[in-house]
Amino acid sequence: MLKVPEHQVAGHDDERGTRELTFYHSFSSNTRIPHHIRRFFPVFHGTQLLKASDGSGLRPHLVLQDITSDHLNPSILDIKIGSRTWYLEASNDYIQNCFHRDKTTTTVSLGFRICGLQIYNESGFWKPGRKLVRNFTADDVRSVLRKFVSSNVGPEPDCCFARSVYGGCDGILERLLELKTWFEDQTMYHFRSCSVLLLFDKESFLRGKTPFAEVKLIDFAHVEDGNGVIDHNFLGGLCSFIKFVSQVLADSKGSTMEDKI
Amino acid sequence: MLKVPEHQVAGHDDERGTRELTFYHSFSSNTRIPHHIRRFFPVFHGTQLLKASDGSGLRPHLVLQDITSDHLNPSILDIKIGSRTWYLEASNDYIQNCFHRDKTTTTVSLGFRICGLQIYNESGFWKPGRKLVRNFTADDVRSVLRKFVSSNVGPEPDCCFARSVYGGCDGILERLLELKTWFEDQTMYHFRSCSVLLLFDKESFLRGKTPFAEVKLIDFAHVEDGNGVIDHNFLGGLCSFIKFVSQVLADSKGSTMEDKI
């Protein structure tokens, strides 16, 4: 239930945690969030005093739903959405740092970047290192999106779960389109530097458990006030990501899970 | 029919004109452009040798449809779409120049910026200077969008043409949504630094001429190959602009042209 230290409100990571808490307080009391949109966010259970990660005494920590706890061996993609991760009010150094990272990853070119992943297969988890992930190209992204829904992670992923996981009315694509519709309209928040988390548990799928695939939003330390403007940065990146997922789905029509079982 | 020197292919503006010509050649022979999308682009009549603007002899010029020629006193908004006007392959100086301009106009914050306008009213055209336009805030943009469809351009624009110009099945909003749908799908071109031109002719409207309002895309000197990725930069900005137009339309329900005549 408790995610420590990423969600520690105070401590060496003071400001970040405080900003994330501010967002959760605003969001959880915001009556203009539709119910079907609230489901995309981790459930917020308030704060709790816990020992700080640096051992310096009790500090308030965010208590959030652990999205992965219901799953045995979840495959996870963490996709930071948007072609820009900096914000106008930031210091010049901060902007230049983000700007450099954005240009040298797929953030600028694709409008999103994969910033973490683990994919489960017969031999355990495939979890490439940070440096490898940071150097992903558009083709690497396509390959990861195929491996995420395959029974193998070799050079020719079979995409046998693509239709079940990405497609259908409960699939990831449909969830992403729901999010998109909300982002076309909402002008309350700008989700700077937030991630879309895709989760797929082959075990849950094979046992017929639902949901076996989920879409969540995470990382709200840099959420800004929308000031009556839509979050065109998030929306553009989300549309680009949706197109990538659609393409994998379209390419894998024909190969289905049923072929493999 | 001939726009000189903006569309001069060679001359002091060599590179820019050549790149624009390359786009028109590619676009006009591209069979994957739907008919209803082609209508958003100026008709391309090829090139013609004309005297260069610097008097240095005959040069090829782009021959394009003059969008405004059918109209007596057109009100025009030129909106550069996208939260980024630079491209990854450009020189560092070029990127820093664009980046600075993008941050100090509404390009980054709104995903678009007004880069030129003329609005016709009783006393002639209102055409603010470049510097004033460059310093437009979000509120200034809202105000211009109201004045564009008003019979007055004072501090309280009456928005009496809003429903006719922005609304309805032939209105500007519907056209913009058509464009949006195409941009959600097309991965052929990235329309870097392009503008959406809104044109409204009160005279044509009052005489019942159609179209009295038009949406066109212009300025293709920086169009890039899409490489299988949607133009999330243009799409995000377009969605933001659509929201601004929708808000003006929603706010002006009640006040109609009919009230004024």
What are the structure tokens assigned to A165, written together?
A: 């996981």
B68, B69, B72, B77: CA torsion to nearest 10: 10
Per-residue confidence (pLDDT) for residue A255, from 0 to 100: 55
Does residue B9 belong to any structural domain of this protein? no
Q: Do A233 and B109 touch (CB under 8 A)?
A: no
Q: Is the pLDDT of residue B10 over 80?
A: no
ipTM of this predicted structure: 0.91
Q: Do B229 and A239 touch (CB under 8 A)?
A: no
Does residue A8 belong to any structural domain of this protein? no
CA A178/CA A160 separation, integer angstroms: 24
Q: Is the pLDDT of residue A90 over 80?
A: yes
- Show Cβ contacts of residue B87 under 8 Å, excluding neighbours closer than 6 positions: B190, B192, B222, B224
Beta carbon pairs, A and B, within 8 Å: 79
* Same domain membership, residue A55 and residue A79: no
* A202-206, A246-250, B250-254: least confident range: B250-254
Higher-pLDDT residue of B55 and B210 is B210
Per-residue confidence (pLDDT) for residue B255, from 0 to 100: 54
In the predicted model, what is the mean pLDDT of residues B160-188? 96
CA A146/CA A158 separation, integer angstroms: 8
* Same domain membership, residue A42 and residue A169: no
Provide the domain limits for residue B155: 75-260
Chain B segment 48-77 residues within 8 A of A by beta carbon are none
Does residue B6 belong to any structural domain of this protein? no
Does residue B4 belong to any structural domain of this protein? no
* Same domain membership, residue B81 and residue B60: no
Q: Is the pLDDT of residue A211 over 60?
A: yes
pLDDT tens sequence across B223-259: 999 999 999 999 999 999 999 999 999 998 765 544 4
CATH number reported for the structural domain that contains residue B256 in this entry: 3.30.470.160
* Same domain membership, residue A60 and residue A81: no
Per-residue confidence (pLDDT) for residue A147, from 0 to 100: 96
* Same domain membership, residue B195 and residue B223: yes
pLDDT tens sequence across B102-153: 999 999 999 999 999 999 987 899 999 999 999 999 999 999 999 999 988 7
Chain B segment 26-45 residues within 8 A of A by beta carbon are none
| Closest alpha carbon within chain B to A184 | B239
pLDDT tens sequence across B60-90: 888 888 888 888 899 999 999 999 999 999 9
- Shortest CB distance from A109 goes to which of B185, B187, B229? B229
Chain A CB contacts of B240 below 8 Å = 229-230, 232
A123 touches chain B (CB under 8 A): no
Residue B2 — pLDDT band, cuts 50, 70, 90? very low
Does residue A5 belong to any structural domain of this protein? no
* Same domain membership, residue B80 and residue B60: no
Does residue B171 belong to any structural domain of this protein? yes
Per-residue confidence (pLDDT) for residue A254, from 0 to 100: 60
Which DSSP string corresponds to A139-154?
Answer: HHHHHHHHHTTSS--S
Does residue B187 belong to any structural domain of this protein? yes
When divided into structural domains, chain B yields a total of 2
Plot region of A200 (φ>0 → left; ψ -120 to 50 → alpha; else → beta): beta
* Same domain membership, residue B145 and residue B126: yes
Residue A14 — pLDDT band, cuts 50, 70, 90? low
Chain B CB contacts of A232 below 8 Å = 83, 110-111, 236-237, 239-240
Q: Do A235 and B233 touch (CB under 8 A)?
A: no
Buried b (16+ CB within 10 A) or exposed e, A43-76: ebeebeebebeeeeeebbbbbbeebbeebeebbb
Do residues B61 and B36 make contact, with C-beta atoms less than 8 angstroms apart? no
* Same domain membership, residue B57 and residue B183: no
Residue A5 — pLDDT band, cuts 50, 70, 90? very low
Q: Do A83 and B88 touch (CB under 8 A)?
A: no
B236 touches chain A (CB under 8 A): yes
- Shortest CB distance from A239 goes to which of B103, B111, B235? B235
Do residues A243 and B230 make contact, with C-beta atoms less than 8 angstroms apart? yes
Q: Do B138 and A228 touch (CB under 8 A)?
A: yes
Preferred mutation among B87, B141, B224, B232 to probe A, highest tally of A CBs within 10 A: B232
- Show Cβ contacts of residue A79 under 8 Å, excluding neighbours closer than 6 positions: A112, A113, A114, A115, A195, A196, A197, A198, A241
B203 touches chain A (CB under 8 A): no
Q: Is the pLDDT of residue B260 over 50?
A: no
Does residue A251 belong to any structural domain of this protein? yes
Q: How far is A100 from chain B (nearest CA, A)?
A: 11
* Same domain membership, residue A146 and residue A217: yes
Q: Number of H helices and number of E strands within chain A?
A: 11, 9
A88 touches chain B (CB under 8 A): yes
B171 touches chain A (CB under 8 A): no
Chain B CB contacts of A247 below 8 Å = 228
- Shortest CB distance from A239 goes to which of B83, B232, B243? B232
In what side-by-side order are the strands of the sheet with B213-218? B124-126, B112-121, B75-81, B195-200, B213-218
* Same domain membership, residue A146 and residue A26: no
Average pLDDT over chain B reads 89
Q: Do B243 and A184 touch (CB under 8 A)?
A: yes
* Same domain membership, residue B226 and residue B118: yes
* A194-198, A253-257, B46-50, B127-131: least confident range: A253-257
Q: How far is B236 from chain A (nearest CA, A)?
A: 4
* Same domain membership, residue B56 and residue B107: no
Q: How far is CA A207 from the centre of its chain?
A: 25
Per-residue confidence (pLDDT) for residue B160, from 0 to 100: 93
Chain A CB contacts of B247 below 8 Å = 228
Tokens 């079940």 belong to which residue?
A164
Q: Do B239 and A236 touch (CB under 8 A)?
A: yes
Q: How far is B33 from chain A (nearest CA, A)?
A: 18
Residue A3 — pLDDT band, cuts 50, 70, 90? very low
